[in-house]
Structure 1
């Protein structure tokens, strides 16, 4: 009789698990509400016109076309019946399981101010990236038509809330877009006059990096014309702009790069959660008193040996997926379970601008062009397939040598008031 493994989520953890899990008499079902796996670390480059969507996303079915034991289903999970051991899909379908792995990821969180979302979109999916890309490009197009200097200034003010890696990387590329890529393409506006504002409630940018690298990143951003504001949170966000404390900044384009909130997966299985909604799991990544249910990736609250939270980054998710595959294989072969999951930190990486990046490997810290090349090679290495690696490498080479971004198409209908 086949053992049925259901994986909810086709992200890094889910994909790694399915790739590593090969056993006789085993069937694997991957369920995702989108038909593609997304390389999230480069999602901001789609949002900022450097890469096309097809360069960082691949159909899940294509990834497993040679695996007859893997079935891919396009559907939205709305609940789990732990008694009947089945996953409920929107529309009424139920998918039975013997082992369930929840790898449903996370979405951006607005710290109780969800009304900000229409004005400050976050960046977790391709739809988010194309929305932000459209707003960025439309800002320049509208400014070209605007005759009122104050309205034009607001249109050319771009605010990024949150100065983690995503926020820093977004600010750097928007600055490059305004200072280099678009300079000769407009006649009524000077794109170099664009104001890029990076706001961080904490004391410094890139807080998970060593302080010296954080200071380097802030200096590099300043040299590119990015205005960095730290130590004061955003207190309001509207269609007209943002408030930093009591100061109102007119800004028609706002991007959210701050907090995240886990999916509802923990609620589905009655697991204990942390403040961000992540399921608190056992050392083997299972749910307490439910050994047949694993929770991995951004959906799980996993602790390191030192008691800190395992970061929600791609290498951590892949390690968890690989570990769960080992546990399931050991169970099926009736062997001893592997030791508890132990996260191996590979370092933190962030790019700032052309030929500028920071890398924190703990005792080894790199910055500048050397770090930028390592960052680039590392990301290309983890892309799926030779074609994607070549496409991204060529896009980066073109952007680096010419200063032009190849994905500057305005698509997707916008519904904000005042859009044309």
Structure 2
């Protein structure tokens, strides 16, 4: 590794994965007497909660990605390795990478995240677009604008474009809302050729939308989506995704020119080959302290970890989990026992459109000082979750997402991009960002020597 010889004697902490858990663990060890190596298959971190904005032309891909090696500017004890993990030898305490290198470790954190889950649905992987990586978001964006232009040039322009979003969680709801925002604020004047209901958006969910949220917030979100002319198909699952349609379990067939899959996540397949204890869903089994079961000094955090409490697969458990692992490594270095992970639920937010969002923030019930003083027993109302809707939730969503980005440049670019999409005066101006839409080229003439 590239650590200076003077630090080679320090304990080596290896972190696999440059997502929320991995980066926050690395940063928490910035001043620790350790060497830190961060391994990731990509050279950048992706802020996944805003990928749907890239997919709908609201932000540039670079706005939500951050160069991992830039972390070294403020952290001299950090190395970043751009490679793919292929095997873990827990007996030898070493990792094997795709290029053949072996890296030994004293402490290991597995935080490589998860990928799209298709749940065995026929045709889902082949005929739909996921929105879990930068490349997938770009593919949605460029396919959307290519097919819009094709629809505008079609002989029957009243047919227009049908987009089906599968999944009623925060990602699906935010994607459907952003598509409606794009259509209503930019594409109607940009595509006067399209007639009537020429850009239809349908959201499919087996049960209710936003199931983790309070019932009143689900009702509000559904009403806001309908107000934006998003059709809700609730109560039926997806039986098959075809090239130009989606077949539901109740027999309905929805025409679809673009199908977006947003129904959940699952661990990467290679996790099964790492000789680690796994749960039924192939996530890594960890104890209360986030150490992998039966493997002292090996931790897992974030979406890939299956905790005894089974925390939600969201950004906050990953962020807090990564920081917790860093603290436990420091405790082990000092000869102390590890402590259990205590998750502080900061709530959840989902945006639907301009000035419209839903959110839950905790009351003061989770503050330890109030438990010690016994105030909660005297004021039971303080235990309640506080629901947010409308402009207040929308403002909170903007603040949380902008401040959570890595680096001042990303924060500024996202602030400008969201202002262009949702701003007071700019929101009626067509401002979609497009990129790699294929150019129209004439066919190449045959070569003179061709048969």
Fold shared, TM-score > 0.5 on shorter chain: yes
Aligned partner of 1:333 in structure 2 is 334
- Deviation of 1:326 after TM superposition, in Å, equals 0.3
- Deviation of 1:83 after TM superposition, in Å, equals 2.0
- Deviation of 1:407 after TM superposition, in Å, equals 4.9
Kept in 1: contact 2:124–2:261 (CA 8 A):
no
**Structure 1 segment 58-207 matched on structure 2, within 5 A:** 58-113=66-121, 115-148=123-156, 153=159, 156-190=161-195, 193-202=198-207, 204-207=208-211
Aligned partner of 2:426 in structure 1 is 402
Kept in 1: contact 2:224–2:352 (CA 8 A):
yes
CA distance in 2, matches of 1:139, 1:323: 46
CA distance in 1, matches of 2:225, 2:195: 20
Kept in 2: contact 1:46–1:407 (CA 8 A):
no
Q: Once the two structures are superposed, what CA deviation does each residue of 1:291-340 show, in whole Å capped at 9, x if it has no partner? A: 12111101001233xxxx21111111010000000000111122343x20
Alignment CA distance shift 1:233-1:24 (3 Å): closer
Kept in 1: contact 2:30–2:75 (CA 8 A):
no
The match for 1:369 among 364, 382, 391 is 391
Q: Which runs of 5+ in 1 are unaligned?
A: 415-420
Kept in 1: contact 2:145–2:437 (CA 8 A):
no
- Deviation of 1:2 after TM superposition, in Å, equals 1.9
Kept in 2: contact 1:137–1:408 (CA 8 A):
no
- After TM superposition, the structure 1 stretch with the greater mean CA deviation from structure 2, 328-337 or 136-145, is 328-337
- Deviation of 1:57 after TM superposition, in Å, equals 0.8
CA distance in 2, matches of 1:114, 1:2: 51
**Structure 1 segment 314-325 matched on structure 2, within 5 A:** 314-325=315-326
The match for 1:257 among 244, 262, 266 is 262
CA distance in 2, matches of 1:395, 1:12: 23
Aligned partner of 2:344 in structure 1 is 344
- Deviation of 1:64 after TM superposition, in Å, equals 2.2
Q: How many residues align?
A: 405
- Deviation of 1:4 after TM superposition, in Å, equals 1.0
CA RMSD of aligned residues (A): 1.9
- After TM superposition, the structure 1 stretch with the greater mean CA deviation from structure 2, 396-405 or 372-381, is 396-405
- After TM superposition, the structure 1 stretch with the greater mean CA deviation from structure 2, 280-289 or 209-218, is 280-289
CA distance in 2, matches of 1:147, 1:287: 60
CA distance in 2, matches of 1:142, 1:128: 21
TM-score by length of 1: 0.92
Q: What SS does the aligned partner of 2:62 have? A: helix
Alignment CA distance shift 1:186-1:4 (3 Å): same
Q: What SS does the aligned partner of 2:388 have? A: strand
Alignment CA distance shift 1:406-1:30 (3 Å): farther
Aligned partner of 1:244 in structure 2 is 248
Q: What SS does the aligned partner of 2:296 have? A: strand
Aligned partner of 1:360 in structure 2 is 360
CA distance in 1, matches of 2:438, 2:320: 38
CA distance in 1, matches of 2:122, 2:78: 38
- Deviation of 1:38 after TM superposition, in Å, equals 1.1
CA distance in 2, matches of 1:208, 1:32: 31
- Deviation of 1:99 after TM superposition, in Å, equals 1.1
User: Given the alignment of the two structures, is residue 12 of structure 1 paired with residue 13 of structure 2, yes or no?
Assistant: no
- Deviation of 1:250 after TM superposition, in Å, equals 1.4
Aligned partner of 2:366 in structure 1 is none
TM-score by length of 2: 0.86
Q: Which runs of 5+ in 2 are unaligned?
A: 1-8, 363-384, 440-451
- After TM superposition, the structure 1 stretch with the greater mean CA deviation from structure 2, 240-249 or 256-265, is 256-265
Kept in 2: contact 1:260–1:276 (CA 8 A):
no
Kept in 1: contact 2:32–2:330 (CA 8 A):
no
CA distance in 2, matches of 1:360, 1:190: 40
- After TM superposition, the structure 1 stretch with the greater mean CA deviation from structure 2, 208-217 or 391-400, is 391-400
- Deviation of 1:118 after TM superposition, in Å, equals 2.6
- Deviation of 1:219 after TM superposition, in Å, equals 0.5
Aligned partner of 1:418 in structure 2 is none
User: Given the alignment of the two structures, is residue 49 of structure 1 paired with residue 61 of structure 2, yes or no?
Assistant: no
